[in-house]
Structure 1
Amino acid sequence: MIQNIPLYDICSLSDIDQDDILISRFAPYLDTHKNLLTTHRHSFYHVVLFTEAGGTHTIDFENFEARPGQIYFMTPGQVHSWSFSGHTDGYIINFSTSFLQSFLLQQGYLDNFSFFSGNLADAVINLPDETYKTVKALFETIIAEYEAPSASASDMVRLLMLQIFIKVNRLCINPVSGGNSSYNQTLLKSFKNLIEHHYSDIKLPKDYAAMLYITPNHLNAVCKDIMGISAGEMIRNRVLLEAKRMLTNPKLSINEISLKLNFSDNSYFTKFFKKLEETTPEEFRKKLIYDHGK
């Protein structure tokens, strides 16, 4: 029988009545939740710093080598699995959108951090030694606040988390010279946000360019300059990713997925998927379920 890919919330992973934050050392967390080794999805933000690690982990169907000093960030809805070799330890923080947002005036504040953009190239970071030492010390303080809370412990945890995010984000920011580069970065961020909201119903770069009040050629040039791919590829890649995520749910038929992504018919969706992934949606799903069952 085909098994559904599980979706976990914080409550389902916590021993205490807590639905917005879960903090732990990684080894005992992994020992308690061995089910997380296989393919699953999160309803929360997920941050891990490895102090000891070997093997691999997978985020949205892309494999990464796990190594000491590596930090990775995941957003709600992403698909995840671990395949470790040897002893693995570190720190883990699972938190809801509301946990930090209740502390901040600026809506969408987490969108300022490149590693929460959904772009996997920014989400997995091997920290330089000095940054690793600083970030590790912050995680230790967070663990202490969480396990033996004093007055305003939750606010202290929030402050420490923001310190980690800001310090890591500084590593990811490329130095820019002149206002035009800064403008293009902002433009790209706006384009990504539009894709995130409209990938299922708007497929053409010219329509996004119109929403951004620029020409399609300008949008394409910005994408190629910063991302190395065209605007059309960025849109298609996001549609493909959502198709893969939907395929983890066997309750959805291929035809239902096609309709949800606004393809004119099932055969067009299959052609689109096979062109980009070099396999059909059915074959992709069979392999995913097979890997999950191993």
Structure 2
Amino acid sequence: MKDTFPIYDICAISEFKRDDILISRFAPYLKSHKNLALPHKHTFYHVVLFTEGGGTHEVDFTTFAVKPFQIYFMVPGQVHSWSFEGEVDGYIINFSVPFFQSFLLRPDYLEEFPFFNGTTDHSVIDIPHPLQSQITQLFEAIIHESEINEKAGLDMVKALMLQIFILVSRLSTGSKSQNATSYNYTLLKSFQKLVEKSFSELKLPKDYAEILYITPNHLNAICKDMLGVPAGEVIRNRVILEAKRLLINRDQSVTSIAYGLNFADNSYFTKFFKKHTGLTPEDFRKQTLTHTHHDSTTYR
């Protein structure tokens, strides 16, 4: 395990640096990037469809059993690692944040898809059998377009990717947000964006409610109705997630992490972290790094 926690830019692992995208079948990608089995972050979007293989894939400290026709959508900043068993194959697409921003003149288009909201529970999806062939054909078409270098090839790749995103998003029929009023849904998305931007400075629902020009009770009602948890828990969960992401970097002390997250002192941070995870920051770091080292020795 390296002392410095790796954060990869698209240019560091892409053969298509100029176009901010990497497109590959998964087996050769895995062979070329074995170091990516260890925990790391990306500054880009990461889409993986497994078509064969087993083992585990961990995203933001949640472990998933790898199985065929399981698709992963990861956003910049998420921590992930994998420990595979046997031969693994599928498809992978890495693309930078600006890649879609000018397309269709909709810079926020990706935010409409629930699997790109950074919530782990929404980002791992099993593709049902009736859809598997169609999704596979779309990935194959993307591979083909990346190889033939035809006119408007990148636009065709984007169009094919959007077909995949739309088809997969239609599987999320259980989302409460689909039945919500557009006003409340817009408020929820605004709240989530604010939390992502300000979770280390603003820790109370009333702070966000004030910015959104609504009451704390209204904000809580929206979160409970659409997410199943109160607004305060949304904020706390984001703080805990960031603390976990920082703790697996051994170069950062627990004290520096506490101050970076705007806790008054290390003691308060430790109490907060233990209350919501059951472990002290030091115990979480020790447990995670031990688990990571074991996984890296079983990688093949």
Q: Aligned partners of 2:293, 2:79: CA distance in 1, in Å?
A: 15
Q: Distance in 2 between matches of 1:283 and 1:143?
A: 44
SS in 2 for 1:172: coil
1: CA distance, partners of 2:12 / 2:175:
42
Could you report, residue by residue, the CA deviation over 1:187-207 in whole angstroms, capped at 9, with x for unpaired residues?
221211111111011111111
Counterpart secondary structure, 1:53: strand
Structure 1 segment 29-68 matched on structure 2, within 5 A: 29-68=29-68
Distance 1:144 1:75, change over 3 A: same
How far 1:139 sits from its partner (Å)? 0.5
What's the TM-score once normalised by structure 1's chain length? 0.93
Q: Structure 2: 5+ residue runs without aligned partners? A: 295-300
After TM superposition, the structure 1 stretch with the greater mean CA deviation from structure 2, 256-265 or 175-184, is: 175-184
CA distance in 2, matches of 1:176, 1:286: 38
**Counterpart amino acid of residue 47 in structure 1:** V
User: More displaced, 18-27 or 69-78?
Assistant: 18-27
Structure 1, gaps ≥5 residues long: none
State the partner residue of 2:102: 102
Q: Contact 1:3 / 1:289 at 8 angstroms: preserved in 2?
A: no
CA shift in 2, pair 1:176/1:82, >3 Å:
closer
- The 1-side partners of 2:110 and 2:179 are apart by 23
- Residue 171 of structure 1 aligns to a residue whose secondary structure is coil
1:282 aligned partner: 282
Distance 1:178 1:242, change over 3 A: closer
TM-score by length of 2: 0.91
Instruction: Kindly provide the amino acid, as one letter, of the partner of residue 218 in structure 1.
Output: H
Alpha carbons 1:26, 1:90 under 8 Å: kept: yes
Distance 1:87 1:111, change over 3 A: same
Deviation for aligned residue 1:174: 4.2
Partner SS state of residue 35, structure 2:
helix
| Kept after mapping to 2: 8 A contact 1:10/1:18 | no
Deviation, structure 1 residue 15: 4.3
**Match in the other structure for 2:225:** 225
- Taking the aligned partners of 2:132 and 2:191, their CA distance within structure 1 comes to 32
CA apart distance, 1:54 = 1.3
Amino acid at match of 1:195: V
In the alignment, the residues of structure 2 paired with residue 28 and residue 177 of structure 1 have an alpha-carbon distance, to the nearest angstrom, of 39
Cα distance in 2 for partners of 1:175, 1:119 equals: 13
Deviation at 1:16, TM superposition (A): 5.5
Name the % identity. 58
Task: Give the aligned partner of residue 298 of structure 2.
Answer: none
Instruction: Check whether the contact 2:15–2:22 (CA below 8 A) recurs between aligned residues.
Output: no
8 Å contact from structure 1 (residues 176, 182) kept in 2: no
Instruction: Tell me the matched-pair count.
Output: 294
Aligned to 1:148: 148
Question: For the structure 1 residues 145 and 261, does the alpha-carbon distance in structure 2 shift closer, same or farther, using more than 3 Å as the test?
Answer: same
Partner of 2:23: 23
**2:254 alignment counterpart:** 254
> Aligned equivalents of 2:44 and 2:178: distance in 1?
37
2:203 is equivalent to residue 241 of structure 1: no
Tell whether the 8 Å contact from 2:177 to 2:185 is kept in structure 1 after alignment.
Answer: no
The 3 A distance-change label for structure 1 pair 18 and 291 is farther
Shift of 1:186: 2.5
In structure 2, the partner of 1:138 is 138
Are the equivalent residues in 1 in contact too, given 2:3–2:251 (CA < 8 A)?
Answer: no
Q: Distance in 2 between matches of 1:177 and 1:165?
A: 17
Contact 2:55 2:84 in 1 (8 A): yes
Q: Which amino acid aligns with 1:202?
A: L
Counterpart in 2 of 1:77? 77
Question: After the TM superposition, which of the residue ranges 6-15 and 233-242 deviates more from structure 2?
Answer: 6-15
- What is the identity, as a one-letter code, of the residue corresponding to 2:251? K
Shift of 1:180: 5.2
State the SS of the aligned residue for 1:84.
strand
Deviation of the 1:109 alpha carbon: 1.9
Structure 2 residue 225 is matched with structure 1 residue 213:
no
Query: What SS does the corresponding residue of 2:103 show, helix, strand or coil?
Result: coil
Deviations 1:150-176 (A, max 9, x none): 111111111111111122112225477
CA shift digits 1:220-259 (9 cap, x unpaired):
1221222111111110000001111111222222111111
Give the aligned partner of residue 268 of structure 1: 268
SS at match of 1:263: coil
Q: Which amino acid aligns with 1:93?
A: I
Q: Does the CA-based 8 Å contact 2:177-2:226 persist in structure 1?
A: no
Shift of 1:71: 0.8
